[in-house]
Chains A and B, each alone.
Chain A
Amino acid sequence: GEDVEQSLFLSVREGDSSVINCTYTDSSSTYLYWYKQEPGAGLQLLTYIFSNMDMKQDQRLTVLLNKKDKHLSLRIADTQTGDSAIYFCAEWGYNFNKFYFGSGTKLNVKP
């Protein structure tokens, strides 16, 4: 199956930018997603990018995709304490019709 990997922890100060990184293995056409999970809650879709794109911006969120290195990043501008959560990178493709999730990056935002 596919392998999606993320760093486990990130700590930033309120107002700074956060960058969460992810690597994936599938080389075919896929969609790459970022989900947010707050304590005791389910998954909230934040944003996504198709594998033929390089960048996508959505308000405070910027997704960058390096197809050659199979590296995906999520940048959160002006990080707030409410952004503290676990962020999951996930890959989805029509050829496998399911999500492969990373283990999640726990973002801690200090006031």
Chain B
Amino acid sequence: ETGVTQSPTHLIKTRGQQVTLRCSSQSGHNTVSWYQQALGQGPQFIFQYYREEENGRGNFPPRFSGLQFPNYSSELNVNALELDDSALYLCASSREGTPGDGYTFGSGTRLTVV
């Protein structure tokens, strides 16, 4: 059973650019959630995808968008990058209807915006 894989592990972008982060879900999981963890903070919920549609969103602007594919993998896209977008982005996969202990987190993508 494979876990959750995120790519890339690190990247550096310039303010104003766009970025795409990728997440492959664990085998048997059909839901993907994304979290942003700023330095020194706990993870904050961005959104969740189920059946290729957004299924809940946190307090993030529309320039944060996502996709889920038929194989349940997912992308997080951020447009018009700002310095405050620098953070660790965590993806978690789960099976719809399972409680939180059924979530598997990836190791994250560390995004630095300069």
A98 and B58 in contact, given A42-B90, A42-B108, A43-B105 (Cβ under 8 angstroms): yes
Complex-state Cα separation, A91 to B106, whole angstroms = 19
A31 to B106 Cα, complex, angstroms: 21
**Does the CB pair A103–B41 fall under 8 Å?**
yes
In the bound complex, CA of A100 to CA of B35 (Å): 10
* Binding site secondary structure of chain A: loop
B107 near A99 with CB under 8 A, answer no
- The total of chain A residues at the interface (CB under 8 A) is 22
Q: Contact string, B70-114, partner A, CB cutoff 8 A, digits 1/0?
A: 000000000000000000001000000001110101111010000
Instruction: List CB contacts (< 8 Å) of B19-33 with chain A.
Output: 33
A interface with B by C-beta (< 8 Å): 1, 4, 31, 33, 40-43, 45, 48, 88, 90, 92, 94, 97-104
